[in-house]
Structure 1
Amino acid sequence: MKIHTLDDVTDNLVGKIGTPNRDKFEYDLQIDLIGSVIKQTRKNQNLTQEELGKLIGVQKAQISKLENNAGNITLDTLIKVFTALKAKVKFQIELSDLNISFDK
């Protein structure tokens, strides 16, 4: 019986790191994780979607969309959500000749 690592399986099923399919897979995974973190943090703080929405000035439906598909969220809304959840927000962009950090 041959044993396969998770990296091997991912490379075979999705594509090697740096390929367009793998890049999309990694991006989608990160977006899903953001939505899951928002939902879990909200629940841990005993907030309903409606209550979180009121804190940042949006409808309950938008919070639901964020939690289930954070792909269409603006950076401004994301910062508002995490600020309302009392989370420290830190973004970092690294390019070959540039490094930008943002803390909120």
Structure 2
Amino acid sequence: MANTEMKSLSLSEMKDKYIGKPDTEEREKYEYELRMDILGRMIKTARQERNLTQEQLGELVGVKKSQISKLESSANSATIETIIRVFKALKAEINFNVTIEKQNLQLS
């Protein structure tokens, strides 16, 4: 019987191997889509905590229910202006971090 040993990979090693190394186009696209997915889930969670339907939130923001639904499934196609309006309607504080040449800037 052959002795087969399995090697464990960390999440970072798996992403490097299967998605692409950091700073490659494939990895940047993956990281962006992941952030947009998380942002959409944050919007949904905040909406549910406020006991609002998608339709009610849409009315507060001035968009249709279908746009809120798309935003919650992935904020990929939303403008920053729309995202800001959604969080304001949810009475949620938003913070943006921007890193320029290793200097962190925070916008609230």
Q: Structure 1 length normalisation: TM-score?
A: 0.89
- Partner of 1:18: helix, strand, or coil? coil
Q: CA deviation at 1:68?
A: 1.4
Q: Indicate the residue corresponding to 1:5 in structure 2.
A: 10
Runs of 4+ in 1 over 2 A off after TM superposition: 97-102
1:92 partnered with 2:97: yes
User: Which amino acid is 1:61 matched to?
Assistant: S
Match of 1:56 among 61, 65, 69: 61
Q: CA deviation at 1:91?
A: 1.4
- Over alpha carbons, which structure has the higher Rg? 2
- Partner of 1:15: helix, strand, or coil? coil
Q: Structure 2 length normalisation: TM-score?
A: 0.86
After superposition, the C-alpha distances for 1:60-104 in whole angstroms (9 at most, x for unaligned) are 11101111121111111111101111111111222128764321x
CA distance in 2, matches of 1:20, 1:91: 23
CA distance in 2, matches of 1:99, 1:18: 18
CA distance in 2, matches of 1:87, 1:16: 34
User: Which amino acid is 1:38 matched to?
Assistant: I
CA distance in 2, matches of 1:9, 1:74: 31
Q: Percent of aligned pairs with the same residue?
A: 45
Structure 2 residue runs of 5 or longer lacking an equivalent are 1-5
Q: CA RMSD in A?
A: 1.6
- How many pairs align? 103
